Chain A
Amino acid sequence: MWSRREFLRSCVASSSLVAVGLSIPRFLSRTAAATLPADKPGGKDTLLVVVQLTGGNDGLNTVVPFKDPLYAKYRQALRLPLPQLHKIEDDVALHPSLKGFAELLDDGALCVVQGVGYPNPSQSHFRSMDIWHAGSMAENPSEGWLGKTLRQLSGSQAFHIAQENEEAPLALSGSPGRVPSLTRLEDFRLHMRAAHRGDLLAQRKVLQQASAGTSSPGLLDFIQRTATQTYAQVQRLQELAQSYEPRVPYPASGLAQRLKLVAQLIDAEVGARIFYVSLDGFDTHAEQLATHGRLLQELSDAVTAFFKDMSARGHRDRIVLMTFSEFGRRVAENGSKGTDHGAAAPMFLVGGRVHAGVVGNHPSLADLDMGNLKHHTDFRQVYAAVLDQWLGVSSRQVLGSAFRQAPVLQTRAT
């Protein structure tokens, strides 16, 4: 693993990349600041990683009100075995697969928000996903809540870590610059078509020369600086792709690999503060038990590895990772050992500065809305807390109106 200093030295030595002192990009000239904890909520270095659970996660079997006799009544084929549950409060427990999450909770790094949803819940995947992405109930939204956030976070980028052929999420649209979708680190490189090795090297030399201008401040200088910065990032990321050694092993799962890529980008300090990844497959209409267990296992193991790796690199207090799904699932299971689309469900927040523990009660199984759980916390209250307290942008501007912040983050005297 390279230290920042080694990296700087190698850049200076190997090329004319930073030959011009003036154009050393901000992230290179910044000292160890990045590894320091955010000095206050909303500090400039805070990061947000959003994990989307696509398809509608069965919240009731994720955060389980195991003592409630109604749980046993509604869930017969899908009832989770009591001894294997991870108890987190007197009457709620985590799914057996969420062992990693239970450990994070012990470590003070997990917040479980129960009963999250929104009024008049839609049970269409598309419509409900749009609502969560837009952070509003508007019809056919064209802007997302993170896109609007990026407008306020001028100068910072976001990354969508995509599965093959996954489209950029609506949540990120509306940002001032394009948000890149990366599938692998190799996507983030300069393209050349060379006839032979010498040709390749000669082309690269021209590229480096091109970014090293001598102009006075202005647009041209801005482009040159961006180019210098980009080439340095590219070089750093390509090296990282080969040399990044996680402090803890990541599982082989798709989500874990995507989060590992997030970790690499965070560690390379590419100037991004928002990352977006998703995990598909939660639409469990039939034979749910095994599938759901496997998915939660993938989620828990991947997120835990990611957080441990990041903590070991000193980013523990800079990170909030937040999970959401477009809706929960019906309380009563269906005839195919699965569940149909529902409404309210829990969200998880992981990070060194989250409010550790459970927020809100489990929605009542006795008071349902057409067979679905009722929400007590609007998801925009969680967004509002993350926006105002964590990223330091006005949630009112992003969400269109003021929402009471859900108590999901530590409130610190500053």
Chain B
Amino acid sequence: MKPAMTPEQAWAAYRPSPDNPWDTRKVLHLYRRAAFGATYAEQQHALQIGPHKAIDELISGRPGWDAFDREAAGLAETIASQSDALQMRAWWFHCMLYSPHPLREKMTLFWHNHFATSQAKVQSVRYMLGQNQLLRRHALGSFRTLLHAISEDPAMMVWLDTHLSTRRQPNENYARELMELFSLGIGNYTEQDIREAARAFTGWQIRHHRYYFNASEHDDGPKTVLGRSGRFNGHDIVDLCLDHPAAARFLARKLFRFFVSEEMTPDRELLEPLAQKLRSSNFDVRSAVETILRSQLFFAPIAYRSRVKSPVDFAVGIVHALEGRIGPTALAQATENLGQKIFYPPSVKGWDGGRAWINASTLIERHKLALAITSTEDSSFGDHCDPAALARKYQKNTDEQALTFFLELFLANDLHEQGRQALYDYLAQTRRGSFPPYWTDQDIQDHRVRTLCYLVLIQPEFQLD
């Protein structure tokens, strides 16, 4: 499939016009991709200030994000010293739920999937949290700096066996994935390149929880990698990879898949301007992401709902839009059942994503989670994420108002007529009935609103990003 526009048009900035207005659908599309959805207030605010400023705000985060960071870092230190893996997972949910800089969290998730490292093998909460903080620090920074740093990251070194690689027996694991999954993609290097590159990473070890260069285990001999020769060390290899023309294309393709569409396979021509942008900015991720978010392509129909919501997006998105406070631990446990256990990607390739997120079992689990969050009667989620309270807050008191409110909040009104009618019928049919005798009118109304919200969240449309 190909969008009906030239690459230049595709990457040119979107400007609202009467036939292509800045509306709720576009606002929510932006917030779904560049954040974890929007609250009703955020939606109204973005509508008012227009796309340019809205994207500015997402790129630089709301004020106070640095204070939040410091606080979160303090919590992380305690968790690392306790070595509690469940708390580690919950901690990241805490960040995703409440950080004033959601785009950075989203990008951290992107990098976690790019440099997919699993605690299942690393077996160190401290290393995993260290890597997570590293990814966050460089989430919107320079990919070059990040790739250098991740090569020396203890979690990565354990995950891909760098620390076991010796002069006599170089381990090829890291060199291979560096080229195949982290920078170039298959077809842009040879097996010989990998063998030579592996020698450059020998002597990279961990001492006292830190990267340590052991010169006596390092193979300092001449190597030929990607057509260049020299006495390369690991950092030289990283630079050689990034200097390869395929590197920028590779990253551009991944960013496209993450922000624009999982369904469309972009051709080289379409990606080239974005790749060029990465090369000319020395791999500045922030400007590449900015280019994507501002582009015509990003707001084109081809990008709209062209991704499946990941379990994390699904769970965090619901709580965020409902302005709820929920124990992140319960959320971390629940998303595992939906197929995404963060800090434990299934392999170094990360999660397959896309259609693989949805099967009979995960769909049932999505129903279960949506119900648990919205019912206010599930002990692990508590009742501080209450759709009925939210509707009251925005004074959506009638059935009609509540229906419109939740459809707009979660679906930007995208539901087809039959679906909307079905929801309306639900409300109509439950206006009366044999409710438990002790329920007050308020209880009954709250129950109907919560159920309405649940029924909105299980719509197929809501499973799309």
* Interface class of chain A by DSSP: loop
Once the chains bind, are A210 and B263 in contact (CB under 8 Å)?
A: no
By a CB distance below 8 angstroms, the chain A residues around B433 are: 195-196, 198-199
Name the CB-closest residue of B to A198. B433
Chain B residues closer than 8 Å to A142, beta-carbon distance: 118, 120-121, 344, 346-347
Chain B residues whose C-beta falls within 8 Å of the C-beta of A222 in the assembled complex = 355, 358
Would you give the shortest CB distance from A55 to chain B, in whole angstroms? 23
Question: In the assembled complex, which residues on chain B have CB atoms less than 8 Å from the CB atom of A212?
Answer: 418
Size bracket of the A interface: 35 or more
Interface size class of B (residues with CB under 8 A): 35 or more
B419-461 Cβ-contact flags toward A at 8 Å (1 or 0): 1001101100110011110010000100100010011001111
Q: Name the residue among B339, B418, B422 with the largest chain A CB count within 10 angstroms.
A: B422
A141 near B459 with CB under 8 A, answer no
A49 interfacial contact with B, CB 8 Å:
no
Are A199 and B364 in contact (CB-based, < 8 A)? Answer: no
Evaluate contact between B360 and A226: CB separation under 8 angstroms: yes
Name the interface residues of A327-349: CB closer than 8 Å to any CB of B: none
B364 and A178 contacting across the interface, CB-CB below 8 Å = no
Stretch at the interface among A32-40, A227-235, A317-325, A377-385: A227-235
Q: Is B267 an interface residue (CB 8 A)?
A: no
A195, B263: Cβ atoms closer than 8 Å: no
Instruction: Let me know if A175 and B346 touch, CB within 8 A.
Output: yes
Residues of B within 8 A of A291 (CB): none
B162 adjacent to chain A (CB < 8 Å):
no
Tell me if B356 is interfacial: C-beta within 8 Å of chain A.
yes
Nearest CB of chain B from residue A367's CB, rounded to whole Å: 33
Residue of B nearest to A188 (CB): B364
Question: B77 near A: Cβ within 8 Å?
Answer: no
B359 and A195 contact, CB distance less than 8 A? no
Point out which of B338, B360, B436, B451 has the most chain A C-beta atoms below 10 A from its C-beta: B360
* Set of chain A residues within 8 Å of B422, measured between Cβ atoms: 205-206, 209-210
- Asked whether any CB of chain B lies closer than 8 Å to the CB of A193, the reply is yes
CB-CB contacts below 8 Å: B318-370 with A = 337-339, 344, 346-347, 352, 355-365, 367-368
Q: Which residues of B lie under 8 Å from residue A139 when comparing CB positions?
A: 121
A293 to B436, CA, bound (A): 54
Query: A193-B377, A199-B451, A270-B360 given as contacts; is B423 within 8 A of A206 (CB)?
Result: yes
Q: Which residue of A lies closest to B369 (CB)?
A: A191
Contacting residues, chain B, for A191 (C-beta < 8 A): 364, 367-368, 371
The answer to the question of B226 belonging to the interface, with a C-beta cut-off of 8 Å to chain A, is: no
Whether B364 contacts A202 by the Cβ 8 Å rule is no
What is the minimal beta-carbon distance from A16 to any residue of chain B, in angstroms? 10
With both chains docked as a complex, state the minimum distance between the C-beta of B225 and any C-beta of chain A, in angstroms: 25
Contact with A along B115-135 (1 / 0, CB 8 A): 000101101000000000000
Contacts A193-B454, A203-B451, A270-B360 aside, 20 further interface pairs with beta carbons under 8 A come to A140-B120, A175-B346, A176-B356, A177-B359, A178-B337, A178-B361, A178-B365, A190-B367, A202-B426, A209-B419, A209-B422, A213-B460, A214-B416, A219-B305, A219-B464, A220-B460, A220-B461, A220-B464, A226-B363, A227-B460
Binding site for B on A (CB under 8 A): 139-143, 147, 157, 173-180, 188-199, 202-203, 205-207, 209-215, 218-220, 222-224, 226-227, 229-230, 233-234, 270-271
Which of B's residues lie within 8 Å of A, judged by CB?
118, 120-121, 123, 262-263, 305-308, 337-339, 344, 346-347, 352, 355-365, 367-368, 371, 375, 377, 416, 418-419, 422-423, 425-426, 429-430, 433-436, 439, 444, 447, 451, 454-455, 458-461, 463-464
A-B contacts, 19 of them at CB < 8 A, read A140-B123, A142-B344, A176-B356, A177-B362, A178-B361, A179-B361, A180-B361, A193-B454, A195-B444, A199-B430, A199-B451, A202-B430, A206-B425, A206-B455, A213-B416, A219-B355, A227-B363, A229-B360, A230-B360
